[in-house]
């Protein structure tokens, strides 16, 4: 029975991961495969597409308990799902790696058919594409095939081919070391419920030493990108971009020393510029953040704006935040609302990150009813947002929701939200002293509002802002504390926030 339940959940999760478009395609796929009119698979599919897994599905389907028939039906549906996802993915796959793989497979088939010249030409084309995109694992397969059939091509420089193979092995091993370091860090963090409980510098240093990673000129552009991705992950989970900033700067120094940044590096360079702009923003160095963001914007226009769509909303996100935290809050809101209107006209799904940012801006401007309207656009479950956006994102969302209902004096709802927040994030609150401080203070504010104007409460709030680590304080956490401070000094929240920065 437990096995059936787990099996059901697997199919349930897969089906509910399909987009509306893919779900409709899968229904058509099933109908096309069905040879009998009384097949139950489409009925089962409809039941499993519901928000919750129904009880006693076998009785609903067959009119009586039929566990064995139901299990067989589930297995067939599962197999069809896997076939559909695989074939649908292959049909739409256009990545460079997949293109190289097709060329390698074609070349090997041509060798088997003794079409040696065509095979060699196909492999050379694959090698060119793989080198262009730093696909070291694919290059390894290409060199392996070239070496295997080198005796059929007297013109081959065998020594040079071996050297190229060995050089590629080193690049591939370095890339694998970076992947191992990333996995090592994620594993360490996951053991503490996705909170970093040790020094950021020490965690990064340990990972780099363990897997023999040096930040130097030998790193390829892709490797430098992977390094910054690792550093950004640690900084984001710890909410500590202050201690991580020297690592960001060391990596980008190596990028700056590269003699040329070719078009093949454009994707990585845009992403690297975003990492740098975000790191400086989180450290409240707004001029430097804007400088990197402007370069990012310029690079997005290159190659006939090849990556403009991919990075448009990331650039907009940071641009809005920089406007907001440099005194242009209303302009930031207009920028985002214009974007939302355009997205709505095209029936595009709105980016949860952008919705959260507009909520921050609206809260600071005192537009709390508009915040509720914006939050209501986020219709997925908490689990979905934690999986897709991260727990840190969900905490920011829930804190904004809590503040909004306090401002709107929905006291009963506030009590419920507060209790749920403490229960849901108990593991985070235990490790995050600043979050704990914030919650304790907020609890006093909504339970005993008369205390807010008292001298003792004002002094306790003042102590919250005299921490030795104020320079390290995350800009978003500081924004939440600014809300508390604004209540005690009777100043507008936005003005208080800017002064606190």
Report the C-alpha gap between 430 and 434 in whole angstroms: 10
Structure tokens at 406: 């306090």
Asked if residue 483 and residue 402 are part of one domain, the reply reads no
Span 350-376, average pLDDT: 94
Asked if residue 320 and residue 204 are part of one domain, the reply reads yes
Domain assignment present for 361: yes
Is the pLDDT at 452 greater than 80? The verdict is no
DSSP state of 199: -
Structure tokens at 224: 């430098």
Report the C-alpha gap between 26 and 30 in whole angstroms: 6
Domain assignment present for 193: no
Mean pLDDT of the chain: 84
Domain assignment present for 194: no
Structure confidence at residue 93 (pLDDT): 46
Maximum alpha-carbon separation in the chain: 91
CA 154 from centroid of its chain's CA atoms: 49
Instruction: Report which of 154, 186, 175 is spatially closest to residue 268, judged by C-alpha positions.
Output: 175
Domain assignment present for 174: no
Q: In this predicted model, what pLDDT tens digit does every residue of 252-310 receive, in sequence order?
A: 888 777 666 666 678 888 998 999 999 999 999 999 999 999 999 999 998 888 889 88
Structure confidence at residue 301 (pLDDT): 92
Is the pLDDT at 195 greater than 60? The verdict is no
Asked if residue 310 and residue 240 are part of one domain, the reply reads yes
DSSP state of 63: S
Domain that holds residue 210: 200-324
DSSP state of 112: H
By CB atoms closer than 10 A (0-12, 13-18, 19+), residue 254 is middle
Asked if residue 491 and residue 456 are part of one domain, the reply reads yes
Of 324, 347, 365, the position where a domain reaches its end is 324
Report the C-alpha gap between 351 and 242 in whole angstroms: 27
Query: Is 193:386 a contact under the CB 8 Å cutoff?
Result: no
Structure confidence at residue 236 (pLDDT): 83
Asked if residue 211 and residue 314 are part of one domain, the reply reads yes
Is the pLDDT at 197 greater than 60? The verdict is no
Is the pLDDT at 230 greater than 60? The verdict is yes
Report the C-alpha gap between 240 and 147 in whole angstroms: 49
DSSP letters of 388-456? HH-HHHHHHHHHHHHHHHHHTT-HHHHHHHHHHHHHHTHHHHHH-HHHHHHHHHHHHHHH-GGGTTSHH
Q: In this predicted model, what pLDDT tens digit does every residue of 91-144 receive, in sequence order?
A: 554 467 888 988 999 999 999 999 999 999 999 999 999 988 788 999 999 999
Number of domains in the chain: 5
Structure confidence at residue 2 (pLDDT): 40
Span 1-28, average pLDDT: 70
Domain assignment present for 373: yes
A 10 A CB-CB count for 116 gives 13
CB burial string 318-341: b at 16+ within 10 A, e below: bbbbbbbbbeebeebbebbeebbe
Asked if residue 102 and residue 51 are part of one domain, the reply reads no
Asked if residue 221 and residue 279 are part of one domain, the reply reads yes
Asked if residue 316 and residue 217 are part of one domain, the reply reads yes
Of 370, 393, 424, the position where a domain reaches its end is 424
Structure confidence at residue 4 (pLDDT): 45
Asked if residue 320 and residue 216 are part of one domain, the reply reads yes
Instruction: Report which of 236, 284, 251 is spatially closest to residue 396, judged by C-alpha positions.
Output: 236
CATH of the domain at 290: 1.25.40
Report the C-alpha gap between 287 and 409 in whole angstroms: 38
Determine the length of the chain.
501
Q: What angle do CA 113, 103, 81 make, to 5 degrees?
A: 105
Categorise residue 55: left if φ over 0, alpha if ψ from -120 to 50, beta otherwise: beta
By CB atoms closer than 10 A (0-12, 13-18, 19+), residue 178 is buried
A 10 A CB-CB count for 174 gives 21
Asked if residue 492 and residue 386 are part of one domain, the reply reads no
Domain assignment present for 103: yes
Span 145-156, average pLDDT: 93
Q: What angle do CA 295, 296, 298 make, to 5 degrees?
A: 65
Of 41, 60, 92, the position where a domain reaches its end is 92
Asked if residue 474 and residue 405 are part of one domain, the reply reads no
Q: In this predicted model, what pLDDT tens digit does every residue of 379-426 receive, in sequence order?
A: 888 888 888 888 889 999 999 999 999 999 898 899 899 999 999 998
Asked if residue 136 and residue 69 are part of one domain, the reply reads no
DSSP letters of 15-60? HHHS-HHHHHHHHHHHHHH--STT--HHHHHHHHTSSSPPSSHHHH
Instruction: Report which of 344, 272, 283, 285 is spatially closest to residue 314, judged by C-alpha positions.
Output: 272
Going 164 to 167 to 173 to 174, the CA torsion angle's sign is: negative
Domain assignment present for 348: yes
Query: Is 355:317 a contact under the CB 8 Å cutoff?
Result: no
Domain assignment present for 180: no
Structure confidence at residue 45 (pLDDT): 81
Going 285 to 287 to 291 to 293, the CA torsion angle's sign is: positive
Residue recorded with tokens 């999760």 = 13
Report the C-alpha gap between 41 and 104 in whole angstroms: 38
For the whole model, what pTM was predicted? 0.72
Report the C-alpha gap between 145 and 156 in whole angstroms: 13
3-state secondary structure of 89: helix
Is the pLDDT at 344 greater than 90? The verdict is no
Structure tokens at 185: 């860090």
Q: In this predicted model, what pLDDT tens digit does every residue of 37-54 receive, in sequence order?
A: 667 788 888 887 776 666
């Amino acid at each position: 029975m437990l096995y059936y339940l787990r099996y059901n959940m697997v199919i349930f999760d897969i089906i509910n991961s399909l987009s509306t478009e893919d779900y409709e395609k899968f229904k058509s796929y099933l109908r096309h495969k069905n040879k009998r009119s009384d097949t139950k698979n489409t009925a089962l599919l409809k039941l499993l597409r519901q928000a919750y897994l129904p009880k006693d599905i076998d009785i609903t389907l067959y009119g009586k308990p039929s566990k064995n028939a139901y299990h067989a039906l589930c297995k067939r549906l599962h197999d069809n799902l896997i076939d559909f996802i695989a074939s649908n993915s292959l049909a739409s796959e256009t990545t460079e790696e997949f293109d190289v793989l097709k060329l390698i497979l074609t070349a090997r088939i041509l060798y088997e058919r003794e079409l040696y010249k065509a095979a060699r030409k196909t492999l050379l084309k694959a090698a060119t594409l793989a080198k262009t995109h730093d696909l070291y694992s694919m290059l390894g397969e290409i060199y392996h095939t070239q070496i295997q059939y080198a005796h059929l091509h007297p013109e081959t420089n065998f020594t040079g081919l071996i050297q190229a193979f060995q050089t590629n092995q080193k690049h591939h091993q370095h890339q694998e070391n970076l992947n191992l370091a990333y996995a090592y860090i994620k594993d360490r963090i996951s053991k503490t419920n996705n909170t970093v409980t040790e020094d950021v510098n020490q965690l990064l240093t340990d990972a780099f030493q363990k897997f023999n990673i040096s930040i130097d000129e030998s790193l390829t552009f892709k490797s430098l990108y992977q390094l910054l991705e690792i550093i950004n992950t640690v900084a984001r989970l710890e909410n500590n971009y202050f201690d991580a900033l020297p690592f960001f700067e060391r990596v980008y120094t190596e990028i700056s020393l590269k003699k040329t940044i070719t078009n093949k590096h454009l994707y990585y360079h845009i992403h690297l510029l975003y990492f740098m702009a975000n790191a400086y923003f989180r450290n409240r160095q707004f001029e430097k953040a804007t400088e990197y963001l402007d370069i990012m914007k310029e690079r997005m226009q290159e190659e006939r704006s090849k990556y403009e769509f991919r990075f448009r909303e990331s650039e907009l996100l940071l641009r809005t935040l920089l406007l907001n935290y440099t005194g242009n809050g209303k302009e930031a809101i207009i920028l985002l609302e214009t974007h939302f209107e355009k997205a709505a006209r095209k029936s595009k799904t709105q980016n949860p990150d952008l919705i959260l940012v507009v909520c921050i801006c609206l809260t600071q401007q005192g537009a709390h009813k508009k915040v509720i309207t914006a939050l209501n656009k986020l219709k997925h479950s908490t689990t979905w947002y934690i999986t897709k956006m991260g727990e840190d994102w969900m905490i920011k969302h829930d804190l904004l929701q809590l503040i909004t209902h306090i401002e709107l004096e929905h006291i009963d709802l506030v009590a419920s939200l507060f209790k749920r927040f403490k229960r849901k994030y108990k593991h985070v609150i235990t490790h995050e002293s600043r979050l704990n401080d914030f919650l304790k203070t907020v609890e006093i504010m909504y339970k005993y509002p008369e205390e807010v104007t008292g001298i003792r409460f004002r002094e306790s709030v003042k102590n919250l802002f005299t921490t030795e680590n104020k320079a390290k304080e995350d800009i978003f956490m500081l924004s939440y504390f600014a809300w508390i401070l604004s209540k005690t000094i009777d100043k507008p929240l936005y003005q208080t926030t800017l002064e606190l920065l």
